Chain A
Amino acid sequence: MHWNSLGEFFAMGGYAFYVWTSFGLTAVLVAWEVLGLRARRNQAWRDLQQARLMDQTDLGEAR
């Protein structure tokens, strides 16, 4: 470990903006994709559930 303090670690030898933007953007993009996919999956489930409910009521009316 060649960092003497936490402040030095965050300063990144004066390149803090470039380094932390790079790594931060990576984290943001990954989080965005994972959460977006979770929302998409939930939406797909909701659609399926709704279709199922509608089918059931249709059947009920037919009877």
Chain B
Amino acid sequence: MKIMTGINWFKYSSPPAFYPLAGLLIPWFYTLATVFAAVGLYISFAVAPTDFQQGEAYRIIFVHVPAAWMSMFLYLVMATWAGFGLALNARLSHMMSQALAPTGAMFTLLALVTGSLWGRPMWGAWWVWDARLTSELILLFLYIGFIALQASIDDPRRADRASSLLALVGAVNVPIIYFSVKWWNTLHQGASISMTSAPKMAITMLTGMLMLALAFWMYSIAVALVRVRCIILERERRADWVRQLVEVKF
């Protein structure tokens, strides 16, 4: 705790202080992501045995499940930054939530496509309206709405605050949507094979998924930091400190 209070964290809430810090952190998060990905891939292809029911196709869940986790988690993180942005009127928080949105949308898309690639051999259909895939689809719409609103408002301050408000509204709705889709799904037809129904190798599978989830997480942080730096450069190009930055670099 002492160390925590020793450093003035608020200093880094301003773009001029944050920009170089982010630059220092990015390589570390990329490295961590690579290491976790290597371990995760090793577990998912070399350690985890063949599933007697689903054959080798079940290995898809090693990317599908972490991508699905990440898509929901990133929406939550995005909404949290949006909330900070609105409450503290901090433009860096708004920028963070905007930097996370494309990565979140990418993981949502990845979860959708891998889910359907897993579903084809298992269910015999590319698309099944099961609870997980359906709520992922709606989550993708929410991400796209956020990005579209942010992109179509010209005044950056208004775009920040409007899209942040939308992110909060979406975050309140996500649990309601998830519940309603689940309810709807159980009434119509339950998915015949659950994605995580392999009892014997629960531990190996969970470790593999956890490793890849960690890899995705570290990757998301790295990419979000790179993107937020781009946003800062684009937005604050008139600021003195950005101009000095250019002079140092060239």
Contacts and interface: CB of A to CB of B under 8 A. Distances in A.
Direct A–B touching, Cβ under 8 Å: yes
Interface of A: 1-3, 9, 12-15, 18-19, 21-23, 25-26, 29-30, 33-34, 37, 40-41, 44-45, 47-49, 51-52
B103 interface: yes
Q: Which of B50, B56, B229, B237 has the most CB of A within 10 A?
A: B56
A13 B106 contact: no
B103 A33 contact: yes
Nearest to A3: B46
Describe B's contact surface by its main secondary structure.
helix
Contacts of B49: 2
B237 A22 contact: no
B56 A22 contact: no
23 contacts: A1-B46, A2-B49, A3-B46, A9-B45, A12-B56, A12-B57, A13-B56, A13-B57, A14-B55, A19-B60, A22-B63, A26-B67, A26-B110, A29-B106, A33-B102, A33-B103, A44-B233, A44-B234, A45-B249, A47-B234, A48-B243, A48-B246, A51-B237
Interface in B200-250: 219, 223, 226-227, 229-230, 233-234, 237, 242-243, 245-247, 249-250
Nearest to A18: B117
A24 B85 CA distance: 36
Q: Contact residue range for chain B?
A: 35 or more
Given A1-B46, A37-B223, A48-B242, A19 B247 contact: no
Contacts of B106: 29, 33
Interface in B41-68: 45-46, 49-50, 55-57, 59-60, 63-64, 67
B113 interface: yes
Given A18-B120, A22-B63, A26-B67, A45 B246 contact: yes
A40 B230 contact: yes
Contacts, number: 85
Contacts of A30: 219
A38 to B, nearest CB: 8
B59 A12 contact: yes
B226 A37 contact: yes
Nearest to B47: A1
Contacts of A33: 102-103, 106, 223
A13 B227 CA distance: 40
Contact of B223 (A13, A14, A34): A34
B219 A41 contact: no
Given A29-B109, A41-B230, A15 B50 contact: no
B169 to A, nearest CB: 26
Nearest to B44: A23
The 4 closest A-B pairs by CB, nearest first: A13-B56, A15-B57, A44-B233, A12-B56
